[in-house]
Amino acid sequence: MFEGFTRCVLAVLMAVVLAPQCVASEQLRERIEALQAGYAAAAGGEPLIATRALGDFYEARGYTRAWIRPELQDAWMNVLEGIASDGLAPRDYHAEALARLLEDDGASLAPESQADLDLLLSDSFLLLASHLLDGKVNPETADPEWKADRHERELYKMLAQALDSGNLVATVDALRPSQGGYLALRSAHSRLAAMANMAWPPIPDGPSLRVGDSDERLSAIRQRLRLLGDLDAPEAGEPVADNYDALLESAMKSFQRRHGLEDDGIIGPATLAMVNLTPAQRLEMVDLNMERWRWLPDTLGPRYILVNIAAFELEVVQDGQVVLEKPVIVGQPYRRTPVFSDQIRYLVFNPTWTVPAKLIVQDKLPQILQDPGYLERLGFQVYQGWGTDRRRVAPAGVDWTRVSARNLPYQLVQAPGPQNALGQVKFMFPNKYDVYLHDTPSRELFAKKARTFSSGCIRLKDPLELAELLLKGKAGWDDARIRSVLASRATTTVLLDHPMPIHLQYWTAWVDGSGTLQFRSDVYGRDPAVLAALHKARTPGTAAQ
Backbone phi, psi, residue 40, to 5°: -70, 145
Residues contacting residue 340 through CB under 8 Å, at least 6 positions apart: 146, 147, 431, 433, 504
| pLDDT classification of 21: cutoffs 50, 70, 90 | low
Q: What is the secondary structure of 21-44 as a DSSP string? A: HHHHHHHHHHHHHHHHTT---EET
| H or E stretch at 506 | none
d(CA 544, CA 125) in angstroms, rounded, equals: 9
Q: What Å distances lie between residue 383 and 352, 376, 402, CA to CA?
A: 14, 13, 16
d(CA 335, CA 343) in angstroms, rounded, equals: 22
More confident residue, 388 or 368: 368
At residue 238, the pLDDT reads 62
CA 101 to chain centre: 36
Q: Any bridge partners for residue 510, and if so which?
A: 518
Predicted confidence (pLDDT) per residue in 142-155, tens digit: 777 787 777 777 89
Residue 500, classed as helix, strand or coil, is strand
Instruction: Give the residue-averaged pLDDT of 133-143.
Output: 85
d(CA 316, CA 314) in angstroms, rounded, equals: 7
Instruction: Kindly report which listed range (12-26, 92-106, 169-183, 482-496) carries the lowest average pLDDT score.
Output: 12-26
Residues contacting residue 396 through CB under 8 Å, at least 6 positions apart: 372
Predicted confidence (pLDDT) per residue in 278-311, tens digit: 999 999 999 999 999 999 988 898 999 999 999 9
Instruction: Kindly report which listed range (195-204, 384-393, 482-491) carries the lowest average pLDDT score.
Output: 384-393
Whether residue 134 contacts residue 293, with contact meaning beta carbons closer than 8 Å, is answered with no
Instruction: Give the residue-averaged pLDDT of 135-145.
Output: 82
pLDDT at 361 over 80: yes
Q: Nearest Cα to 230, choosing from 238, 221, 239?
A: 221
Whether residue 117 contacts residue 67, with contact meaning beta carbons closer than 8 Å, is answered with yes
525 backbone φψ class: left, alpha, beta (φ>0; ψ -120 to 50): left
d(CA 430, CA 107) in angstroms, rounded, equals: 59
Longest dimension (CA), the chain: 117
High-pLDDT (> 90) share of the chain, %: 73
Whether residue 81 contacts residue 98, with contact meaning beta carbons closer than 8 Å, is answered with no
**CB atoms near residue 521 (< 10 Å):** 18
Sign of the four-CA dihedral 77, 295, 304, 503: negative
Sign of the four-CA dihedral 267, 528, 193, 312: negative
**CB atoms near residue 361 (< 10 Å):** 17
b (16+ CB within 10 A) / e for 215-235:
eebbebbbebbeebebbeeee
pLDDT at 536 over 90: no
Sign of the four-CA dihedral 472, 475, 480, 482: negative
pLDDT at 106 over 70: no
d(CA 437, CA 305) in angstroms, rounded, equals: 11
* Alpha-carbon torsion angle 35, 38, 43, 45, nearest 10: 180
Whether residue 344 contacts residue 429, with contact meaning beta carbons closer than 8 Å, is answered with yes
Instruction: Give the residue-averaged pLDDT of 402-415.
Output: 90
CA 122 to chain centre: 28
d(CA 452, CA 309) in angstroms, rounded, equals: 9
At residue 34, the pLDDT reads 79
Predicted confidence (pLDDT) per residue in 59-91, tens digit: 999 999 999 999 999 999 999 999 999 999 999
d(CA 527, CA 142) in angstroms, rounded, equals: 10
Residues contacting residue 172 through CB under 8 Å, at least 6 positions apart: 79, 128, 129, 132
At residue 14, the pLDDT reads 37
pLDDT at 185 over 50: yes
| H or E stretch at 460 | strand 458-460
Long-range pairs of 205-209 with CB within 8 A, sequence gap ≥ 24: 205/269, 205/272, 208/266, 208/267, 208/268, 208/269, 209/244, 209/266, 209/267
Single-letter residue type at 483: R
Q: What Å distances lie between residue 172 and 59, 132, 158, 168, CA to CA?
A: 23, 8, 10, 6
CA atoms within 13 A on the CB side of 475: 0
Single-letter residue type at 495: L
Whether residue 489 contacts residue 291, with contact meaning beta carbons closer than 8 Å, is answered with no
DSSP label of 341: E
Residue 111, classed as helix, strand or coil, is helix
**CB atoms near residue 400 (< 10 Å):** 16
Residue 427, classed as helix, strand or coil, is strand
Instruction: Give the length of the chain.
Output: 545
Single-letter residue type at 116: D
| Strand 425-428 versus strand 340-349 pairing type | antiparallel
**CB atoms near residue 340 (< 10 Å):** 19
More confident residue, 530 or 19: 530
Instruction: Give the residue-averaged pLDDT of 240-255.
Output: 91
| pLDDT classification of 7: cutoffs 50, 70, 90 | very low
